[in-house]
Amino acid sequence: MKTDLSSASARPSSASESLVVGVDFGGTQIRAALARNGEILTRVGYLTRSEEGFEPVLERLKESIRQAVAQGNVTLQQVGGIGFCAPGPLDSHTGVLYDPPNLRSWHNVPIKRILEDEFKVPVHVGNDANLAGLGEYMYGAGRGLRDMIYVTVSTGIGGGIIIDGKILEGISGTAGEVGHMTIDMHGPVCNCGNIGCVEAIASGTAIARQAAAAIAAGRGGGILAQLPAYQADPHKDIAGRSAAELGAAPPLHLELEVDARLVVKAAEAGDPVARQIIDDAATAIGVAMVNLIHLFNPQMIVIGGGVSKAGDLLFGPIQRVVNQRAMRVPAQAVKIVPAALGENVGLIGAAAYVIYHEAGE
Ligand SMILES: [Zn+2]
């Protein structure tokens, strides 16, 4: 039974004191850290460069682990295990990566077995958003709770569901795909193939798409105004074409430079179009939160990821939707709060996964 991990981590014990390695394996970066008790002691990062193929990437991955350990002046024999997180789909029970996005030639890779053969320590493999949630639960905003849901809103939307001190992993190890909850059965097609997922409506990618549509419709001046290139010369597009060449419309090609961060900046500056886009995304996320509240009756929902930096512009409408739509009792029981751990949440979560398994054995 894995119970009461958060208070176990607050109370030093042999398990929570042990040195562990956390690895955050992504399509852009491979990062590894030596950690103790949720605190990062050393940190190593490499660009993944997946275009070079399987073997060079695997070698960089192993090297990042060796270096993180060596920089702490310890040996792998002193390390309790390696926690490894990657984007799904993956099987957290067998430690096999099925088909990670942005990682060509990494299909059905038994990464747990490969790293255990190499380093002779236990390796625990989990979905990056699940383990980020575990990190927030053990060492961040959810410390001391039993039931917590983590939601990350960035390029995509991911999550981790922790109930009674345990990560909900599901029979195939794929549970907690909060972003792929259908909230509009007639909505846009999602990357996953489903229709109307909250990720397809409210992720950073979806926010940028809405902004591009507003710019194309001539309503995006307030968003474009946040672009340095536009500030330099609002009469030229990124191909250097002048207003005369473009006609009356704003320089359309600048929309290619628009991302969610820019929309948030414009919303913060008071642009009504940007505000509406963020408000719509937050409303969609709020609807997803209502579903989670009804299903799981959590004590806390922790929202992280780049888009969560929009602060009250995001959290205000989410709370409003929950107040309007959710059943009274579970709505009053839940606190919806920003994540506490920042950019290292993946590394801390991966390291936490080792402690989680130690405590459960
Ligand atoms: Zn989806």
C-alpha separations of 66 from 21, 59, 164 in Å? 10, 11, 35
**In contact, 151 and 307? CB cutoff 8 Å:** no
Q: How far apart are CA 190 and CA 204, in angstroms?
A: 13
Alpha carbon of 233 to ligand 1 centroid (Å): 39
Alpha carbon of 199 to ligand 1 centroid (Å): 6
Handedness of CA 156, 145, 39, 115 (dihedral sign): negative
| Predicted local confidence at residue 240, as pLDDT | 59
**In contact, 270 and 277? CB cutoff 8 Å:** no
Alpha carbon of 59 to ligand 1 centroid (Å): 32
pLDDT confidence tier of residue 257, bands split at 50, 70 and 90: confident
pLDDT > 70 in the chain, percent: 87
**In contact, 110 and 94? CB cutoff 8 Å:** yes
* Token output for 124: 């625990």
| Predicted local confidence at residue 286, as pLDDT | 98
Alpha carbon of 114 to ligand 1 centroid (Å): 30
Alpha carbon of 205 to ligand 1 centroid (Å): 13
59-63, 229-233, 298-302, 347-351: segment of lowest average pLDDT: 229-233
Q: Tell me the mean pLDDT in the region 192-201.
A: 95
Alpha carbon of 200 to ligand 1 centroid (Å): 7
Per residue in 10-44, pLDDT (tens digit) is: 433 444 468 999 999 998 999 999 999 999 999 99
Alpha carbon of 294 to ligand 1 centroid (Å): 20
Alpha carbon of 182 to ligand 1 centroid (Å): 8
> Comparing C-alpha atoms, which of 29, 3, 10 is closest to residue 347?
29
**In contact, 227 and 261? CB cutoff 8 Å:** no
Alpha carbon of 107 to ligand 1 centroid (Å): 21
* Residue 239 clears pLDDT 60, i.e. is over it: no
> Comparing C-alpha atoms, which of 203, 199, 205, 165 is closest to residue 184?
199
pLDDT confidence tier of residue 1, bands split at 50, 70 and 90: very low
Which residues have C-beta within 8 Å of that of residue 201, sequence separation ≥ 6? 183, 184, 187, 188, 281, 284
**In contact, 343 and 135? CB cutoff 8 Å:** no
> Comparing C-alpha atoms, which of 357, 355, 353, 361 is closest to residue 133?
353
Alpha carbon of 190 to ligand 1 centroid (Å): 5
| Predicted local confidence at residue 238, as pLDDT | 54
Alpha carbon of 306 to ligand 1 centroid (Å): 19
Alpha carbon of 257 to ligand 1 centroid (Å): 25
Alpha carbon of 197 to ligand 1 centroid (Å): 5
Alpha carbon of 225 to ligand 1 centroid (Å): 32
Alpha carbon of 89 to ligand 1 centroid (Å): 12
More confident residue, 134 or 246: 134
Alpha carbon of 204 to ligand 1 centroid (Å): 14
Alpha carbon of 175 to ligand 1 centroid (Å): 13
Alpha carbon of 8 to ligand 1 centroid (Å): 36
Q: Tell me the mean pLDDT in the region 101-125.
A: 93
Alpha carbon of 195 to ligand 1 centroid (Å): 7
Q: Which residues pair with 338 in a beta bridge?
A: 303
* Residue 2 clears pLDDT 80, i.e. is over it: no
Rounded to 10 deg, the angle between the 204-216 and 260-268 helix axes is 70
Q: For residue 234, with 0-12 CB atoms within 10 Å meaning exposed, 13-18 middle and 19 or more buried, which class applies?
A: middle
Q: What angle do CA 253, 256, 258 make, to 5 degrees?
A: 120
Alpha carbon of 241 to ligand 1 centroid (Å): 38
